[in-house]
Amino acid sequence: MASTVVNPTRMELTRLKKKLVTATRGHKLLKDKRDELMRQFLDMARENMALREKVEAGIKAANTNFVIAKAGMSEQTLHTALMAPKQEVQLEVSDRNVMSVDIPVFEYKTKSADENDIYSYGFAFTSGDLDDAVKSLSDILPDMLKLAEIEKSCQMLAAEIEKTRRRVNALEHVIIPDTKEGIKYISMKLDENERSTQVRLMKVKDMMLEEAHHYKDKQF
């Protein structure tokens, strides 16, 4: 697998060994990060789904109420009634750190403290159905904001998990095996060099001894 050409030197060997230690440590850390992210994500995804179903049902009910309200009065009256909203919602955004992912936390404030202050019209010309419709919509607003928070967090966590998973896999299946292969190759090569030097020295020693003592001639 040693697709990359490595220099069989001691310096390179030290470098690769250091790299392997870092990669192994990084791999372990990232794997832990991935597992923890996944745990948090799964909890959040379940909550997200439950909230979404709740909000969608709520909006559907509110829409039905609005249709009924619309049927009971003229379109002009309805438009006039809803033209100038009394209430105003402001959002404070802070963030929460989950395994180095910043996920948003929304806190909302309404302009007037009274949460029933949502009817922007006099009751004389509108039908009671409109009040119900507005109320039903107002009831799901907190859930809608919670949904926004959770759903965004889910999307961000999902993206982070995908990235982390790629990194873990790259380390596990490419970087670490390649480095190990490189270390093996270099140490083999160095050992081989050492052996050949040794053999050469032994041979030279033999030849020198032969030169000095002429063993061959003294043999009987």
Residue 1 CB, nearest approach to another protein (Å):
26
Which residues within the stretch 66-125 sit at the binding site for another protein (CB under 8 A)? Answer: 66-67, 82, 85-93, 95, 102-104, 106, 108, 110-111, 118-120
In order, the DSSP letters of 117-159 are TT--S-SSSS-HHHHHHHHHHHHHHHHHHHHHHHHHHHHHHHH
Pick the closer one to another protein by CB: 138 or 187. Answer: 138
Q: Which residue has the tokens 């507005």?
A: 134
CA 212 – CA 89 distance, rounded (Å): 105
Residue 151 CB, nearest approach to another protein (Å):
6
Applying CB under 8 A, which of residues 6, 23, 30, 55 lies at the interface with another protein?
55
Please state the φ and ψ torsions of residue 106, each to the nearest 5 degrees.
Answer: -100, 135
Token pair in block for residue 163? 């990235």
Residue 89 CB, nearest approach to another protein (Å):
4
Residue 171 CB, nearest approach to another protein (Å):
18
Per-residue x/- marks for another protein, 1-20, CB under 8 A? --------------------
Pick the closer one to another protein by CB: 22 or 63. Answer: 63
CA 151 – CA 52 distance, rounded (Å): 9
Which residues within the stretch 118-177 sit at the binding site for another protein (CB under 8 A)? Answer: 118-120, 133-134, 137-138, 141, 144-145, 147-149, 151-152, 154-159, 161-162
- Going 58 to 64 to 67 to 68, the CA torsion angle's sign is negative
Please state the φ and ψ torsions of residue 73, each to the nearest 5 degrees.
Answer: -150, 170
CA 185 – CA 5 distance, rounded (Å): 10
Residue 146 CB, nearest approach to another protein (Å):
11
Cβ–Cβ under 8 Å, residues 212 and 36: no
Contacts of 156 (CB under 8 A, 6+ apart): 101, 102, 103
List of residues contacting another protein (CB under 8 A): 38, 41-42, 45-46, 48-49, 52-53, 55-56, 59-60, 62-63, 66-67, 82, 85-93, 95, 102-104, 106, 108, 110-111, 118-120, 133-134, 137-138, 141, 144-145, 147-149, 151-152, 154-159, 161-162
